[in-house]
Amino acid sequence: MEEAIPRIVGEGNAPNTVRFWHNSNTIVLGCFQMAEQEVNFQACKETGTKVVRRFTGGGAVYHDHGNLNYAISLKRGHPLVPIDDLQSVFRKLSEGAVQGLRTLGVKAEFQPINDIQVDGKKVSGAAGSIRWGTVFHHGCLLVSSNLSILGRVLNVPQVKLADKHVASVQKRVTTIRDELGRNISTREVREAMIGGMEDSYGVVLEEGDLSRDELALADRLFESKYNLPEWNLERED
């Protein structure tokens, strides 16, 4: 779905779209990453974690049911993102999520290049692209994710941790639940995200179903790309 929607939006056959979704335990690799460097396959086996590759750059993220993902597809030239500059896109299209988190009481801030942080800890990472006639931005929010599994399945290079002055990936990330000190559902966070985007962008989001074109294209992409180890593990492009 993640690739099908921006393609169809770019063709002009679907409206500008925000999609919310979540996965069971999965590592999602950035499109330029090498699986054997980023993934602890033994820990994946032990925890039932799958590995897939997305079509956008950036770093590997861990998803589970305590995670909320959002994806924004805007037809190129949309007034919110008038310039084709990826850093501006990340900044602008993170604003809605930052605003949503703040309404929940989380002191979130956008941290370039592509993170949302609370007191120096990452609560959300984003990635995106400009292609197929679409400006695309997606992000994942750690709502109540299992950070101990996250710390086991991802091999975070020491050079990155050292640069950020922390000893482990677990000390660099946080969840919305931990920041609020209470249990919170992904549904509640989704409602806050919708409100944050509507306020930040001066729009009204309308709930809608995926079109037949989008569903058919998603099926084709799954069969020809996202279900294949050549793509997920090897980056055969």
Partner 1 sequence: MRSADYKAPGGKLVRVRLNEENGEILSLRLSGDFFLVPEENLGKLEKMLIGAPLREPELQMLVDRFFNATRVQSLGVTRDDLVKALLAAREGAGH
Residues that bind partner 1 (CB under 8 A): 30-34, 37, 55-60, 84-87, 90, 113-114, 127-131, 157, 159-160, 163, 235, 237
Of 137 and 190, CB closest to partner 1: 137
Distance in Å, CB of 127 to partner 1, minimum: 7
Distance in Å, CB of 131 to partner 1, minimum: 5
Of 11 and 198, CB closest to partner 1: 11
Distance in Å, CB of 106 to partner 1, minimum: 25
Distance in Å, CB of 163 to partner 1, minimum: 6
Q: What φ, ψ does residue 168 adopt, rounded to 5°? A: -150, 160
Q: What is the DSSP string of 139-186?
A: EEEESS--HHHHHHHB---HHHHHHTT-SSGGGTB--HHHHHTS---H
Of 131 and 177, CB closest to partner 1: 131
Residues 97-134 as b or e (16 or more Cβ within 10 Å = b)? bbbbbeebebebbbeeebbbbbeebbbbbbbbbbebeb
Of 27 and 104, CB closest to partner 1: 27
